[in-house]
Amino acid sequence: MRLIRKLFKLKNELFRNIFFEKRIKKTLDHKYTIYFDKKNNSEISKLASLYRTNKGYILDKNNTEGIDIKNCYSYSDFYSDIFSLSKNHVKKVFELGIGSVDTQQIDNMLPIGKKYKSGGSLRMWKDYFKNANIYGADIDKKCLFEEERIKTFYVDQGKKDSIFDMWKEIGETDFDIIIDDGCHRFEETITFFESSIDKISNNGIYIIEDILASQRKPFLQYFKKSNFNYKFINFYRPDISHSNNSLLMITK
Ligand SMILES: C[S@@+](CC[C@H](N)C(=O)[O-])C[C@H]1O[C@@H](n2cnc3c(N)ncnc32)[C@H](O)[C@@H]1O
């Protein structure tokens, strides 16, 4: 029985990969492939584990801080690679999505484990980018907080007026990094992107995390028509497959 289940899983994974490749190739015609051996020394993975954000995990199963690592993505390994050279020069980081723990909020973080604590990713950025101020925003007012080098604000990412008011209140521009880890729905994500992309500096990076498999097509079509440089990055974990373990990285 176990073998049959395993074979079915393999078959599904194979079909998904073939289908996925075919679909992506229709829109994007260049790619590069990176293979790596996951070690426990990636700085951002360690911080992700320490602050219990699901952006990453470490392999040490005895040290997961009460978080179910099955629910964690692979972004921290990638972020450690792309941010390491500039980490001391980064001055401003903004992240949408602080991490609601309200059962009424559909995108809450309760499924990732009882010990999840709101604000983990903002604290992770604060520790990693030692010379940066960290800004966060969320629709759930209960998760807003302020501490040294971290400020948070209310926003509804689907509403232009709300986004405009948030940026006005923040009163900063020239962000080195903006990360959208909000609701992940196409329309609202693009509304937020169009109202926020001007806030990154000329060398800044805008990242949209968790591109749902069902929404890849509209995202890729949208960015193909735009003048932005963008990369669709898909991650693979051998132990578990997440259909949304992927992100878009956009530069001007
Ligand atoms: C995936 S969680 C963020 C997790 C956090 N970044 C972390 O790594 O620990 C998504 C967040 O998006 C927020 N959210 C959902 N819809 C939103 C909206 N329309 N505008 C702003 N934030 C929203 C939720 O309240 C939730 O806190």
100 lines ligand 1 (CB under 6 A): yes
105 lines ligand 1 (CB under 6 A): yes
- Give the pLDDT score at 249: 98
**203: nearest Cα among 226, 225, 227, 229:** 229
Q: What is the mean pLDDT of each run of 10 residues along the chain (252 residues)?
A: 78 73 84 91 93 91 75 95 97 97 88 87 98 98 97 98 98 98 97 98 97 92 96 90 91 94
pLDDT tens digits along 7-23: 877 777 777 777 777 77
Whose CA is closest to atom 5 on ligand 1? 99
Give the Å distance between the CA of 65 and the centre of ligand 1: 21
User: Are the C-beta atoms of residues 100 and 143 closer than 8 Å to each other?
Assistant: yes
- Give the pLDDT score at 116: 87
- Give the pLDDT score at 70: 86
Give the Å distance between the CA of 55 and the centre of ligand 1: 13
- Give the pLDDT score at 64: 67
The model carries a pTM of: 0.93
- Class of the domain covering 38-251: alpha beta
- Give the pLDDT score at 4: 82
- Give the pLDDT score at 15: 73
188 lines ligand 1 (CB under 6 A): yes
- Give the pLDDT score at 210: 96
Classify residue 185 as exposed, middle or buried by CB count within 10 Å of its CB (0-12, 13-18, 19+). middle
